[in-house]
Structure 1
Amino acid sequence: MAVYTVDFGHCLSGSDTGAGGNGLREEVLTRRIGNLVVQGLIAKGHIAYPIQLESANSVAQSLNYRVDKIKRIEPVQSISIHINAGGGTGVEVWGDNLCKDMCNRICSNIATGFDMDNRGFKNGCESLALVGLYGSASIPALLVECFFIDNKEDCNKLNIQKYADCIVAGILNQAVKQNNTIIEEGVKYNMKNVVVFTREFEGDGILAEFWARTLSEGIAVNNYKLIDWSKVENIYAIGGKIGTYTGYLKPENFVAGGVDGWATLRNLQAKLGK
């Protein structure tokens, strides 16, 4: 049994949010992937701690929080989940020689599993400053850049469970599960409350994630294929117009999109009574 920390990379709000593109947000996806990595490690008999901060006033505050938590736990390996941006494609993993083999395994698993470019292991302690563990030689740290959020082809291949499986298998040096399908995620987690949102505004996805967190067994999606709808009891929606969504959506479960993200946030606060 080993102890791991899984850092979700960015805050949901404030000064350390992630990248966006193709209707997706990094800080939302890294939480979904990261939580499944935690669950996957625990299922294999290990201890895994999620490291996350919902909001920060600065990047430094966010990093310091993560570093302090990780150092207090003293894991055998720190894993940070990120999603790349900048016009490239494929997967890369940053680390140092303490975990080079693990980084290469994760890269290979994702590149093979998703049929995407393997940008490979990136050896650079400077980049480990992103997780704040540079100089902590006793705690190997790696940072997974799963794919490029501003590359449509990368995004079209998105499968949250499969990313988590590839990462867990790479960490533990085990075979990747075969025949993963997106629908298995919905069946496995038996989500009862689903918050859907349009791709019209990237901020709607973040607010949908907030709303889903207030619900028992809630999840936020903008891809209907992610859910086994036979398990769903309630459908909620945020942003756009009510006519955008299925006729099964109840008016009381809809939050209208405002003229901007702040207006939509105020509408959501009113809906939640906050």
Structure 2
Amino acid sequence: MVRIVLDAGHGGHDPGAVANGLKEKDLTLSIVKHIGRLLSEYERVEVHYTRTDDRFIELSERAAMANRIGADFFLSVHVNAGGGTGFESYIFNGNVSNATVAYQNVVHTEIMKAIGNVRDRGKKRANYAVLRHATMPALLTENLFIDSAGDATKLKSEQFLLQIAHGHVEGMVKAFGLKKKATTQPKEDGKLYRVQVGAFSDRKNAERFAEELKKKGYPTIIV
């Protein structure tokens, strides 16, 4: 069994970064819920959340939750701000295991494949509390810049948030060797997902993403 803790950054009275009509706390929760739903299609995965609604949780408590359940991987999802553009990921800048480095390498790569025409800001290290306090391999992702007009346009697209989630999941599938369940229940949510070829680095990536959505029961077309 692989125990994964999904942490949606910020929440409650802490909205995180706010710009262009968006709040970081809402975007991170949406992405994390997509990740959890996609992970439910795999065998021997136990998904835990630090939050599933709009509530405030201390940074130290987020990692403590993962430590208490003996998680195998802690994933904290954020959206950046500060005038830049693109995607970057972080692990702790102190002593980390070889597994932590390996997981960052594969998850970062798969996210970049999934989100396509976005600047790759690189694999980084930082002394973030959620990474420092976690006793298992931990990764923090910064998914575009909320205060960049171009990035914000992407972040307003539910399809793009699903692409971000898909990249995170594909990374964890590869990192932990996850296997699809033999049978899955369609995930009808009343939406038609339009996979935009231009949002990917090449058409093949768009086609693979559309096929994955169709397998999961999401009505999907390529445009």
Could you tell me which of 117, 142, 146 is aligned with 1:145? 142
CA RMSD of aligned residues (A): 2.4
Give yes or no for the alignment of 1:156 onto 2:153.
yes
**Is residue 2:119 matched to residue 1:117?**
yes
Instruction: Point out where structure 2 has 5 or more consecutive residues left out of the alignment.
Output: 176-185, 192-218
TM-score by length of 1: 0.56
1:21 to 2:19 alignment: yes
1:1-274 paired onto structure 2 within 5 Å = 1-11=1-11, 13-14=12-13, 16-45=14-43, 46-52=45-51, 54-56=54-56, 62-96=58-92, 97-98=96-97, 99-112=100-113, 113-124=115-126, 126-127=127-128, 129=129, 131=130, 133-134=131-132, 136=134, 138-158=135-155, 159-173=160-174, 188-191=187-190
- Give me the whole-angstrom Cα distance separating, in 1, the residues matched to 2:188 and 2:49: 18
Deviations 1:169-194 (A, max 9, x none): 112227xxxxxxxxxxxx944259xx
Q: Hey, what does 2:178 align to over in structure 1?
A: none
The separation in 2 between residues aligned to 1:160 and 1:100, in whole angstroms, is 25
- Asked if 1 retains the 8 angstrom alpha-carbon contact of 2:63 and 2:133, the reply is no
Contact kept, 8 Å, 2:84 with 2:148, in 1: the verdict is yes
Residue by residue over 1:38-87, the C-alpha shift from the partner in whole angstroms, topping out at 9 and shown as x without a partner, is: 1222211211111117334xxxx621331332211111000001000000
Partner Cα distance (2:161, 2:39) in 1: 15
Whole-angstrom distance in 2 between the partners of 1:29 and 1:171:
20
Query: In the TM superposition, what whole-angstrom CA distance separates every residue of 1:226-249 from its partner, at most 9, and x where no partner exists?
Result: xx8xxxxxxxxxxxxxxxxxxxxx
CA contact (8 A) 2:111 2:166 kept: no
Please identify runs of 4+ aligned residues in structure 1 that moved more than 2 A. Answer: 53-56, 104-114, 155-158
CA distance in 2, matches of 1:71, 1:107: 23
| 1:22 Cα deviation from its structure 2 partner | 1.7
1:157 aligned counterpart, secondary structure = helix
Which fold has the larger relative contact order, with Cα–Cα distance below 8 Å and residues 6 or more apart in sequence? 2
Q: Counterparts of 1:82 and 1:156 in 2: how far apart (Å)?
A: 17
Contact 1:94-1:142 at 8 Å conserved across structures: yes
Q: Which has the larger radius of gyration?
A: 1
What is the rounded CA distance, in whole Å, between the counterparts of 1:188 and 1:23 in structure 2? 29
Once the two structures are superposed, what CA deviation does each residue of 1:251-272 show, in whole Å capped at 9, x if it has no partner?
xxxxxxxxxxxxxxxxxxxxxx
For residue 260 of structure 1, what is the aligned residue in structure 2? none
Provide the TM-score with structure 2 as the length reference: 0.68
Counterpart code for 2:166: D
Supply the distance in 2 between the matched residues of 1:104 and 1:20 (Cα, whole angstroms): 29
Unaligned runs of 5+ in 1: 175-186, 193-227, 229-274
- How many pairs are equivalent? 171
Give the deviation of 1:107 after TM superposition. Answer: 2.6
* TM-fit CA distance, 1:110: 3.0
